[in-house]
């Protein structure tokens, strides 16, 4: 079960990565490289090259310049994200609906979501966070019908 979940996750990750590059390639081929108001190419675009096994390919990608170049000098440092946690994504790879529960530090069980067959969803998380999948009609605290703990 754990191996098939990991393999399914890796396959989905590979497919989404390939899809991203295909979209990026289609976008760069169908849209002109942007230029500033005076007609010169923006320096923020850089050529990115890659090879997916069919020979080297490249595209123009936007790379954010130093913040002082577009904040009129009002900001010296870019703001940093405060969220330094993790994200958790859950996949129901089965043919029946399942419920996702979060387990609180006091052991309480809180229903977070119901996933239809082959549905997915996610939430913010942190190391040690506990979740579990249960049958759709699971009664909190019973322990009966728990399918998988994470």
Tell me how crowded residue 56 is: count the other CB atoms within 10 A of its CB.
Answer: 8
C-alpha span between 12 and 16 (Å, rounded): 6
Q: What pLDDT is attached to residue 62?
A: 77
Tens digit of pLDDT for each residue in 47-103?
Answer: 888 888 889 998 888 777 777 766 777 777 777 767 677 888 999 988 999 999 999
Q: What pLDDT is attached to residue 115?
A: 92
pTM comes to 0.45
Nearest to 115 by CA among 132, 129, 96, 102: 96
> Average pLDDT over the chain, rounded to whole?
76
Distance from first CA to last CA of the chain, Å, rounded?
A: 12
């Amino acid at each position: 079960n754990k191996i098939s979940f990991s393999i399914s996750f890796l396959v989905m990750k590979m497919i989404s990565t390939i899809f991203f590059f295909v979209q990026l390639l289609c976008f760069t081929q169908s849209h002109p490289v942007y230029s500033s108001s005076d007609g010169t190419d923006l320096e923020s675009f850089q050529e990115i090259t890659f090879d997916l096994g069919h020979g080297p390919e490249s595209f123009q990608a936007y790379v954010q310049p130093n913040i002082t170049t577009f904040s009129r000098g009002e900001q010296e440092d870019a703001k940093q994200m405060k969220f330094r946690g993790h994200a958790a994504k859950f996949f129901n790879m089965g043919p029946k609906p399942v419920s996702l529960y979060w387990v609180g530090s006091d052991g309480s069980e809180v229903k977070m979501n119901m996933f239809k067959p082959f549905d997915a969803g996610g939430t913010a998380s942190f190391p040690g966070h506990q979740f579990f999948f249960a049958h759709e009609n699971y009664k909190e605290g019973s322990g009966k019908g728990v399918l998988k703990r994470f």
